[in-house]
Amino acid sequence: MNYKKLTPFIVCYALLSLQTSNARALPLIDGNFNTVEWAEHYTDSNGVVGPGVGGQAYDAERLGLYFDNSHVDFGLQTGFDLALGRNYGNLHFNPGDIAINVDGDSFYEYAIDFSVAGASVVYTLVDMTKAGATWTAPYYAQHASAGPFDATYAAADIVGTFSGAYGNFAPGQRIADNVVNANANLLYSNVIEGSFDLALLSLYTGGPMTMHWTMQCGNDVITRTSEQTPVPEPATMFLFGTGLVGFAGLARKKIMK
């Protein structure tokens, strides 16, 4: 066998293998915050804000954010009941909306409003820069620094809707603590996950983006800032590698002439 003839193809195959080996599998949108799937694209709880009321040490547990050139994937794990909210004495507090900052300033340009129904979640993506959209701050004044809580908006402010997955898990899968409380909500961690088209974020022009979540009381908050640029998709890498192989073939023909 003439290995010299095969050299261009071997080199191109090696380059392709190197590129695709660095490609990361997308997380499954299944309502289970699997830290292996999320790899390095998630953050653990920031800790307690203010007095830290709430029954468990960390109501906000994990927040994942991963995006490539076509889609944005996200996941939230929390001890706060994302379907029903939670009662604190005679007060009832709701889960907040997920906020997205796409340009690195101090304002969150998008909101992901959500509604849990069984094992599924319906998401509404909102442009918060529109005139009819506003962020409602957390209930307690001392927790105002927690940032966005609830998006108020008009139908014209909605840029897209999509669905995702919801799940809740026993304390063994919680990262913070295993507090046993009379309120059954505190015995479980709640997870929501979703994915949407990056093109819906028309205000995004490149670079990192940040997700943020807190609940109505604002006592816990969690944020995640993404990688600097979108990661090329495996399909894009495949096309790149195919192009290299084709180029090597043309070069080989020229040499043989």
Judge whether residue 145 has pLDDT over 80: yes
Per-residue pLDDT at 115: 97
Name every residue whose Cβ is closer than 8 Å to that of residue 90 and which is 6 or more positions away in sequence: none
Residue 47 — very low, low, confident or very high, per pLDDT cuts 50/70/90? Answer: low
Mean pLDDT across 120-140: 96
pLDDT of residue 217: 87
- Whether residue 184 sits in one domain with residue 240: no
Q: How many domains does the chain have?
A: 2
Residues 47 and 168 in one domain: yes
In this structure, are 180 and 244 located in the same domain?
Answer: no
Residues 186 and 88 in one domain: yes
User: Could you tell me what percent of the chain has a pLDDT over 70?
Assistant: 67
Q: Each residue of 76-120: pLDDT tens digit? A: 998 888 998 888 778 899 999 999 999 999 999 999 999 999 899
pTM of the entire predicted model: 0.76
Contact 242, 236 (CB under 8 A): no
Do 117 and 163 belong together in one domain? yes
Examine the domain organization and report whether 224 and 254 are in the same domain: no
What is the reported pLDDT for 169? 75
The answer to whether residues 3 and 103 belong to one domain is no
Query: Domain check: are 130 and 89 in the same one?
Result: yes
**Confidence bin at 183 (pLDDT 50/70/90):** very low
Judgement on whether residues 36 and 14 belong to the same structural domain of the protein: no
Q: Which range of residues forms the domain containing residue 183? A: 28-231
**Tens digit of pLDDT for each residue in 187-197?**
578 899 999 99
Domain shared by 125 and 2, yes or no: no
- With cut-offs at 50, 70 and 90, classify the pLDDT of residue 180: very low
Mean pLDDT confidence for 25-31: 88
Say whether both 248 and 169 belong to one domain: no
Supply the pLDDT for residue 88. 76
Q: Are residues 10 and 46 in the same domain?
A: no
